[in-house]
Amino acid sequence: MADLKGTKFRTYSPQTARLAELLGASPTVIQVPEVPQAFATGTISAMITSSATGTSTKAWEFVKNYYVTNAFHPKNVVVVNEQRVPEAARKRQEGGARGRRPTPRRAAGSSGSSAEQAANKELAANGVTLHEPDAAMKAAYHKVGDTMLAEWLKAAGADGQAIIKAYRAK
């Protein structure tokens, strides 16, 4: 974790900027298409990313190490105003949503989705070494996560606390 101190760390949101700050790095806003150029010019020297973004940017051209932290597992949703959607389209959307099974929660260090596994294999096949974080790195990230959660809960108030309580109960 000490290696991140002072690095120019690619960020893309307020949350990743705060993560960089708490890691002692310098947050640097870079959009995905600009990542290869940013590494090539020294604008950034570290980033948090998915293996999918790593493959789409051909990360092997500018990095040799990737730590599988399982830091983010986004959930995608579609919100639609029912009154504006034609009946046939609404039924297709509802059927598709019902047909999806919830993603099971994974233990830390698990191999992830098939897309994630494929992207990890592609990174490795192109010379990137994938690492599992050691206990010290995991502890440091947990400490940062706890800080970010506490900050969010303070801003979110009772509603936020109820959400986290319900999430942890599952």
Q: What is the DSSP letter of 10?
A: E
160: in domain: yes
84: in domain: no
145: in domain: yes
Q: Which domain holds residue 170?
A: 135-170
Nearest CA among 87, 82, 68, 46 for reference residue 132: 68
156: in domain: yes
Overall number of domains in the chain: 1
Asked if residue 6 has pLDDT above 50, the reply is yes
Sequence-separated (6 or more) residues with CB below 8 Å from residue 148: 15, 18, 19, 22
Q: pLDDT tens for residues 103-139?
A: 444 444 445 678 889 999 999 999 999 999 999 999 9
153: in domain: yes
This prediction has a pTM of 0.74
Asked if residue 76 has pLDDT above 80, the reply is no
142: in domain: yes
Q: pLDDT tens for residues 11-56?
A: 999 999 999 999 999 999 999 999 999 999 999 999 998 898 999 9
Nearest CA among 68, 35, 36 for reference residue 51: 68
141: in domain: yes
116: in domain: no
